[in-house]
Structure 1
Amino acid sequence: MKNGRFTVGSMYGVIGLFMIYIFWMFLLNGVEHAPMVKGKMEDPHFSVSTWKWFFYPHILLGTISLAIGPLQMTKLSRKKPGLHKVFGKVYAVAIFINILMVPYLTLSATGGLGSSIAFLVLNFFWLWTTSIGVIKAAQRKISDHKEWILRSYAITWVFVTFRIVIIPLSIFLGPSLSFPLAVYIGISINLFFVEWRNRRNKDLPKNRKIRTADPLVK
């Protein structure tokens, strides 16, 4: 139980730091002053006023998805199926709406065409994993639903992983390489961890009593 609470608490701690970063970088002084956006504004075809209409919902919906994930893994959520279902719907809807925002944002992605392709690949994985997770829930295939929603949340967590990985990469590489690499590395790390957890859970002895309070063990 303590390990589960520590894991969820740690995840919310990271999400809190992510929110502080977003507020400081894009909201405190206005998005136009963010270094990333300043680079985009050098393009005469870039419209920051239009870009905002897609970027702000993208960040808001992404943060909502991030925040719901750990809650859905807790014992409290599992003991209240109605609450779990409501938050699950909010999670899925937030992602599906966000997916519609991404193609426009990729048109002006920092790093050029390579970054645009990388973010579209990320968007595909997001749509794929979340859609199957929703379908499995509708089919009442709970075990499969858990596995696919964890994969979906692994892709959602790239919001965080990307911003961690991009820091060292940017020291040695330009945006055209560092940004797409950070996306692919984030996808790989997160999915590898989830697949490892899923495989470990399947390999557990059948007679072992698993604590349902552990948010990462089925």
Structure 2
Amino acid sequence: MRSKKVILPVMYVLAYLLTFYVVIQYLIYKPSQAGMVSAKLQDASFPYAVWKLFFYPHILLGVAALLIGAYQLTNRSRRNPVLHKRLGRVYGIAILINVLVVPYIALYATGGTPSTIAFLVLDVFWLVTTVEGIRSIWSKKVLRHRQWMLRSYAITFVFVTFRIVLAAEQLLLPDMPFSLAFPIGVYVSIALNLAVTEWYLGQRRHHTGHSAKGVV
């Protein structure tokens, strides 16, 4: 499908760019040197030492899911069932652990309570889509598994989309407070990613239907 040939390379580029940024910003430098984190440190009650214990797993597991998920979507991955299965397990475990970490991170999200709620909503979407994908393959429903894991990766890719949407908000609406920009950015990213995913799945069903009609 032409759409896949366009979407996948774009996803790869964005995923690797974000990974490069995360490595530079949070592993080579300190999280405290990031603008949004340094702002949190202005609050004397912010538990930075404990927060880091949750933040690093969140970032590292998120990047792992982002990169593994991108590879899992390729035909090359499916041509190696053993590797596909092993990487799929790593992807699922990375997300399920991250789902447990996110609520604590969300408590200290930039933007206050509205942002906390938005990130918890994102966490629920992440959990539901991933669990449905896992349940489907356990039930040997391969097509359903692929559909739900694609939705799961759409939520994983919010890791990328959110930063693009937030940058666009800051550019177009520079006076918008973070208490609005952050939650709106999360909701828009979820909606956008899932909309593209459902469009792609619809295109695939349409293409498959036409191919089947052409078989004599």
- Length-normalised TM-score, structure 1: 0.89
1:20, CA displacement in angstroms? 2.1
Structure 2: distance between partners of 1:95 and 1:205: 31
Give the superposed CA RMSD: 1.8
8 Å contact from structure 2 (residues 161, 189) kept in 1: yes
8 Å contact from structure 2 (residues 133, 152) kept in 1: yes
Q: Which moved more, 1:80-89 or 1:19-28?
A: 19-28
Structure 2: distance between partners of 1:202 and 1:9: 22
1:204, CA displacement in angstroms? 2.2
Structure 2: distance between partners of 1:207 and 1:108: 50
1:33, CA displacement in angstroms? 1.7
- Length-normalised TM-score, structure 2: 0.90
Q: For residue 211 of structure 2, what is the aligned residue in structure 1? A: 208
8 Å contact from structure 2 (residues 154, 193) kept in 1: yes
Q: Larger relative contact order (C-alpha < 8 A, sep ≥ 6)?
A: 1
| Amino-acid identity (%) | 44
Cα deviation 1:68-121 (Å, max 9, x = unaligned): 112112222111111111111100000000011101101111000000000000
Structure 1: distance between partners of 2:202 and 2:208: 12
Q: For residue 135 of structure 1, what is the aligned residue in structure 2? A: 135
Cα deviation 1:21-61 (Å, max 9, x = unaligned): 22333334311121111111122221111111111110100
Q: Confirm or deny that 1:112 pairs with 2:123.
A: no
Q: For residue 101 of structure 2, what is the aligned residue in structure 1? A: 101
Q: For residue 189 of structure 2, what is the aligned residue in structure 1? A: 186
1:187, CA displacement in angstroms? 0.1
Q: For residue 151 of structure 1, what is the aligned residue in structure 2? A: 151
Q: For residue 121 of structure 1, what is the aligned residue in structure 2? A: 121
Structure 2: distance between partners of 1:25 and 1:174: 24
Report matched runs for 1:22-41 at 5 Å: 22-41=22-41
Q: For residue 72 of structure 1, what is the aligned residue in structure 2? A: 72
For 2:119, the aligned partner's letter is F
Structure 2: distance between partners of 1:28 and 1:197: 37
Name the count of aligned residue pairs.
209
For 2:105, the aligned partner's letter is L
1:128, CA displacement in angstroms? 0.4
Structure 1: distance between partners of 2:7 and 2:124: 28
